[in-house]
Amino acid sequence: MLFSSVYEPNGSMKIIGSFWIAIGIVSVLGLFNPVRISPILIIQIIYKGLYLCAEVVPRMIRGQIVPIQMSIFFLVWVLVLPFFVPWKLLLTKTEKYKSQ
């Protein structure tokens, strides 16, 4: 199981896990329509990247246990997802929005 390597799940972890599954489903759908779902894709890149940098890497440096499966999943997602975000479209101001 993806999230079963280190921590015994409690109520909070189950709620967060359910939220992750929901975001994951929307993100997979977003791969087919990235413009509409790009805010969710960007949020995933940011929070998963922050988690890896702020929690996983320091724990690994200290030799502490980390949830390996989840960390690998997050790393792959952070490395692959940016290729599906329509950055040029999101960062370019169109004529429609220049007047605002």
Per-residue pLDDT of 37-75, as tens digits, reads 888 889 889 999 999 999 999 999 999 999 898 899 899
Structural domain contains residue 5: no
Please report whether residue 34 resides in a domain. Answer: yes
Within a domain: 67: yes
In a domain, 100, yes or no: no
Question: Domain of 80?
Answer: 11-89
What pLDDT score does 75 carry? 95
Quick check: is 98 in a domain? Answer: no
Q: What residues contact 5, with CB distance under 8 A and at least 6 apart? A: 67, 68, 69, 70
pTM for this one? 0.69
Q: Is there a domain that residue 40 lies in?
A: yes
Residue 24, domain member (yes or no) = yes
Is residue 1 a part of any domain in this protein?
Answer: no
